[in-house]
Amino acid sequence: MKLTILGTGTSTPSLKRGSPSYLLIAGKQKILVDVGPAVVRRLLECGYAVTDIDVIVITHFHVDHTADLSTFLFACNYGEQARTRPLTIIGGPGIRRFYGGLKKIYRWVAPKSYELSIVTMKSGALQLNGITIEIYPVKHNKESIGVRATERKTVAFTGDTAYSKDLVKLAAGADLLVAECSFPFRTVKGHLNLETLDGVVREARPKRVILTHLDPEWDDFKGILHAPYLLGEDGMTINL
């Protein structure tokens, strides 16, 4: 398994950190978790095109996690090569309505030469070409989900979330936990800070934790981290 971090920021504009998005390569599957502003360009910078992606997981509908979905789907039809391989989009309750809204505004995003599957999941698991995808509800928006992907190793993504028992289950024993930790110390509803994340990690015991969805406040507190934590950076690649 290989993880490329495309963006580690928030909705706050930043030259250093793009919107949160992650490319996981597991087996023959390329899974894109969230697709915020400029993610299509980020993919190109990392050597990938939209036609390489097999699965998109949308953790919730906020703009910093979804704004480039229309660009992505448009490029599947009108890029240098039209997409022919199937595409699966997984999201929480309302994902079909969300996609339908995009089609009303941008009729060009509807598939022309490939099969698109929209999968609604709030919890549960499915198999995709040898990869186990598990979905857990998390506490942010009503549609918010975290995702866990397993193929010999396990990588878990929290999405934006507050503490919950489901979050602990999502992270339990993961080889790598990609955890939003928006603020070092400040408490904001629906998000984690380092103290709250510490509680999750003590219960769930993931082997490694990468912090992401990082507010600019983090620039002044980089030295406070210790194992198993690592501050995420755009372009970072991790092999598992």
DSSP letters for 87-126: EEEEESTTHHHHHHHHHHH-GGGS-SSS-EEEEE-SSEEE
What span, in angstroms and rounded, lies between the C-alpha atoms of 167 and 157? 10
Q: What pLDDT was estimated at residue 5?
A: 97
CB-based contacts of 223, cutoff 8 Å, min separation 6? none
**Whether the predicted pLDDT of 20 surpasses 90:** yes
| pLDDT at residue 220 greater than cutoff 90 | no
Quick one: pLDDT at residue 221?
80
* pLDDT reported for residue 204: 98
Write down the pLDDT at residue 80: 86
How confident is residue 225, by pLDDT bands cut at 50, 70 and 90? confident
Q: At what angle do helices 69-78 and 95-105 cross, to 10 degrees?
A: 60
Report pLDDT digits (tens) over 113-128: 999 999 999 999 999 9
Q: How confident is the model at residue 81 (pLDDT cuts 50, 70, 90)?
A: confident
pLDDT at 163 (0 to 100): 96
Contact indicator for 177, 198 with CB cutoff of 8 Å: no
Closest CA to 2 of 151, 202, 189, 181: 151
The average pLDDT across 40-49 equals 95
Q: Which amino acid is at 16?
A: K
Instruction: Please report the pLDDT score of residue 226 as a whole number.
Output: 85
- pLDDT (mean) for 221-227: 80
Task: Name the strand (E) or helix (H) holding 69.
Answer: helix 69-78
Task: Please report which confidence band the pLDDT of residue 33 belongs to, taking 50, 70 and 90 as the band edges.
Answer: very high
As a 3-state breakdown, the chain gives helix, strand, coil percent values, each rounded to 5, of 25, 30, 40
Closest by alpha carbon to 44, among 71, 15, 8, 26? 71
Q: What does the pLDDT read at residue 17?
A: 95
Average pLDDT, the chain: 95
> Residue 87: is its pLDDT beyond 90?
yes
Domains of the chain and CATH, by start: 2-239 (3.60.15.10)
Model confidence over 90-112: pLDDT tens digits?
Answer: 999 999 999 999 999 999 999 99
pLDDT of residue 53: 98
Residue-wise pLDDT tens digits, 149-173: 999 999 999 999 999 999 999 999 9
